[in-house]
Chains A and B, each alone.
Chain A
Amino acid sequence: MRFFLELALSGLAVGAVYGLVAMGFAVIYKATGLVNFAQGELTMIIAYIAWTIQTNLTGNVAVVTVGALGAALLLGLAIERVVMRPMLGEPVFATVMVTIALAVILRSSINFIWDAYPHGLDLGVGRSVVRAGAVGIRTGQIAVVATLLAMLAGFTLFFRYSRFGIAMRAVAADDRTALLMGVSTGRVHAAAWAASAVISGIAGIFFAVSYDLSPTMFQLGLKSFPATILGGLDAVIGSGLGGVIIGVAENLAGGYLGSGTKEVAGFVLIIVILMVRPFGLFGQRDIERV
């Protein structure tokens, strides 16, 4: 029982990170109808920027977080403006290939800008262990779950009540009509990229604090993919919850079926989900009028 609880709790924490990255996928998909294959790489770059600030400037948590998330915002806007905006109106194939190309560029630039060795991001917080009954959990892991819950609540309110959130949903539903109704779709796309980069940035910093920073961190994006598929590609909230489910499932599979299974559990799950419910648990069924 204790083994199970430990696995489930640490799965919950890593699942919350997956959930955040998956929300990043979903925000972009919802606004632009495009799967951003560079999400994991964005996460990694932001974590590296946070590490650079921590080693070169100051280890203050607030400064590092604000600095890294500011960089994330700029990076998201820059990518949208320089790389994605010119591809507007091109076939889906072309835009998706551009994000794949972006992913390999960002992934490889790590070795040129930083180095190939793993680093720890030590912000002086999040590493102490809290004991709850028989099992221990790190404060950083509690914080990431809390952040995920806060983000879920925030996004629910944002999409339901704020003017901009409603505009984003309008663009997602039908960008041409939204344009005719006076919504600036370009601005919505830019905001989606920026928001997505910031969410992934948060995930990246939490991941780096709890675990380690290395050039293979982009695999976080691949691991979060099943979460988005499970929750539904167009369901921001569903993706966040999907992450938690995937994290726990993966950890349990790793604990009971062997560590190799952990690596592929999510991918096996993707194929199963796509067979049973291709639009995800919370996504909308795609119906096309001919």
Chain B
Amino acid sequence: MRSGTFKETYPELIALTDSRLVWFWGAVLAIALAAAPYLVNAYLLSLLTAILITVTGVLGLNILTGYTGLISLGHVGFLVTGAYGYAVVSGRWGLPPLLGFAASGSVAALLSLVVGAPSLRLRGLYLAITTLAFAFIVSHLIIEAAPLTNGARGITVERPSFGGLSFASDQAFAHLCLAIAILTLFGTLNLRRSRIGRAFVAIRDNDIAARAMGVNLHAYKLLAFTTSAFVTGIAGALYGIYLSYVSVEGFPFLLSIEALAILIVGGLGSPLGAILGTIFVTLLPELTRSALAMFGSEAEALFSTGAQELKSILYGVVIILFLRFEPRGLVGIWHDIRRLWVHWPLRF
């Protein structure tokens, strides 16, 4: 009798999952998500679209912060360059939307090379500092480069249509976001299984040991940063389309913090964690509003006047509480529940 599940070959070890049930329920979830835009009301649909876009962006940051263990405070900079890349190429120049998406990713990736090449030679926190500086420089540059970017006035963005499909309706746009989110999810999952992904994790766990084993630290850190920026740029383009108007004000610095909060809440380095974290953190302000509404209209008025501030405080508190009490994040809780389910009534 088998006493457990054992992996006997390397391909088994790195397979995405060994269970057909997981594939089955994953497919059910995908179909449900594809059908959802037609079943829910406009508010929930907009929330769903926001979650899908955020998942894409956070999966991008996860490559850098989760896998490689480097903190970036400047991902809002890549988000905004992605949005402007799309808005300028497809909105102002009138080129095909697919070129716009390509531009949004590549411009962000190119910028990440400029920032990353000097700052990734250093260890530790320096990337957090330079990316923080980068986020401010980028928004300044965008406002200065008015002939290209319309300066502080911003650019209006239309919903795209390509490949014979129009994504003008809310439902179709949600489908586009879903497709890109799923693509990114499998992209990052597969990246993690490859030599490159293992090198990233080796750098995170012990960079000196990784170097001794032949991982070129500078090259791999730069690769992680660039890949992460590319994905974030695409998410930025989607977010710009979602807002239907791209301006520097639409991308406050808080977005960087929100993305880090999502990763920590969900569980660093886990794509599942990124998804769970996104759902939790996106719904948190909504839940708080409902909770405040129970205390009467006065408390709800407080929410509407100080929504941005209240959100910031919530993100901050959530980050501190999770780091303090559950550093593994929601994924850790999920694993505990799963273990409990299998082994109950035994503890182990």
Residues of chain A whose beta carbon lies under 8 Å from any beta carbon of chain B = 35, 83, 86-87, 90, 92-94, 96-98, 100-105, 107-109, 111-112, 222, 225-226, 229, 260, 263-264, 266-268, 270-271, 274-275, 278, 286, 288, 290
B254 on the interface (CB 8 Å rule)?
yes
Main secondary structure of the interface of B (DSSP, over half): helix
Q: Is there an interface contact between B130 and A100, defined as CB atoms closer than 8 Å?
A: no
Contact between chains at B122 and A102 (CB < 8 Å):
no
Among B126, B208, B320, point to the contact of A102 (Cβ < 8 A).
B320
Number of A-B pairs, beta carbon distance below 8 Å: 114
B312 with A105: CB separation less than 8 A: yes
Interface size on B, residues (CB 8 A): 44
Residues of B within 8 A of A111 (CB): 306, 309
Out of A94, A225, A286, name the residue touching B132 (CB < 8 Å).
A225
Chain B contact residues, CB within 8 Å of chain A: 69, 71, 73, 115, 118-119, 121-126, 128-130, 132-134, 136-137, 140, 143-144, 208, 212, 254, 257, 260-261, 264, 306, 308-310, 312-313, 315-317, 319-320, 323-324, 327
Chain B residues whose CB sits within 8 angstroms of the CB of A100 once the complex forms: 73, 257, 260, 319
Chain B residues lying within 8 Å of A112, measured Cβ to Cβ, are 306, 309, 313
| 21 A–B contacts, CB within 8 A, in A order | A86-B324, A92-B125, A96-B71, A100-B257, A104-B312, A105-B316, A108-B308, A108-B310, A109-B309, A111-B309, A112-B306, A225-B132, A229-B129, A260-B143, A263-B140, A264-B137, A267-B134, A270-B133, A274-B126, A275-B119, A278-B126
Smallest Cβ-Cβ distance to A110: which chain B residue: B309
A102 surroundings in chain B (CB, below 8 A):
316, 320
Residues A97 and B260 in contact, CB atoms below 8 Å apart? yes
> Which chain A residue lies CB-closest to B308?
A108
For the complex, give the distance between the alpha carbons of A102 and B316 in Å: 6
Is B130 in contact with A270, judged by CB distance below 8 angstroms? yes
A94 to B317, Cβ gap below 8 A?
no
B69 near A271: Cβ-Cβ < 8 Å = no
Cross-chain contact A263 with B136 (CB below 8 angstroms): yes
CB-nearest residue of chain A relative to B305?
A111
Q: Is the CB of A98 within 8 A of B71?
A: no
Residues of B within 8 A of A92 (CB): 124-125
The distance from the CB of A2 to the nearest CB of chain B, in whole angstroms, is: 29
Give the CA-CA distance A205 to B115 in the complex, in Å. 35
Chain B neighbourhood of A107, CB < 8 A? 312
Inside 8 A of B143's CB, which chain A residues have their CB? Answer: 260
Contact B323 A87 (CB under 8 A): yes
Cβ contact within 8 Å between A101 and B315: yes
Are A271 and B312 also in contact (CB < 8 A) when A92-B124, A98-B319, A278-B122 are? no
With the chains together, A226 CA to B140 CA distance in Å? 17
Of B130, B309, B327, the most chain A CB neighbours within 10 A belong to: B309
Q: Which residues from chain A contact B129 at a C-beta distance below 8 Å?
A: 35, 225, 229, 270, 274
- Which residue of chain A has the shortest Cβ distance to B310 in the bound complex? A108
Contact B122 A274 (CB under 8 A): yes
* B137 adjacent to A268 (CB under 8 Å): yes
Flag if B130 contacts A274 (CB, 8 Å).
yes
Contact A260 B73, beta carbon cutoff 8 Å: no
The answer to whether A93 and B316 have CB atoms under 8 Å apart is no
* Complex-state Cα separation, A268 to B257, whole angstroms: 22
The reply to whether A90 and B126 form a contact with Cβ atoms under 8 Å apart is no
Which of A87, A104, A264 contacts B140, CB < 8 Å? A264
